[in-house]
Amino acid sequence: MKRIALIGGLLAASLTVHAQTAPATSSPAKKELAARIVKLQQPGIDNLARQLVEQPAMQMMQQAGIALQQRVAADRRQAVAADIQADARKYAEEMGPIARDKATRMAPGILQPMLEEKFTEDELKQLVAIIESPVNRKYQAMGGDMQRALGEKLVAELKPTIEPKLKALNPTIAGRLQPAAAGSASAPGK
């Protein structure tokens, strides 16, 4: 994903600096360069597919966690939570490869024409050089460590500010849900 963001930023910068339009048909060399860039973006494409599969499962697990607290006896919560996690993991393991394969098949047909249209052959060569540069690879390899370090510091800095607000928000939300629950409980008895 970081590589796609990098390429997106480079696309925007290049389009601003070089307001050139590509010819209607691309040369074989230009087509090959665009295909190479798409291939170099495979980790980002894989990451996008994984996120598309995992995001709804994570949202469901969050909702399930809330429901567990409200609907499942305390002595059964851990076992039910483990079962739900296993179900979500099974879903991700099954759907992840399907989404990744579909994204891999679709990417060239979508991304290559965009690259060929918006970039000159020389610009595509420059992009390949940037993406393949050892400095860029080293920077990309640091991505997880940089995000983790920033995330840890951000959590530490924001925790004193966020926790009191969350504690205040919790009874407010609970209070709003009380009338809705009471209203729906009395409705069937009418």
Query: 96 lies in a domain?
Result: yes
Containing domain of residue 96, as a range? 2-132
Query: 24 lies in a domain?
Result: yes
- For 33-68, the pLDDT digits (tens) are 999 999 999 999 999 999 999 999 999 999 888 888
Nearest to 15 by CA among 119, 117, 127, 115: 119
Query: 188 lies in a domain?
Result: no
Query: 110 lies in a domain?
Result: yes
The 10 Å Cβ neighbour count of residue 127 is: 22
- For 97-141, the pLDDT digits (tens) are 999 999 999 999 999 999 999 999 999 999 999 999 999 999 988
Query: 144 lies in a domain?
Result: no
DSSP 8-state symbol, 76 = T
Query: 182 lies in a domain?
Result: no
Domain count, the chain: 1
Query: 51 lies in a domain?
Result: yes
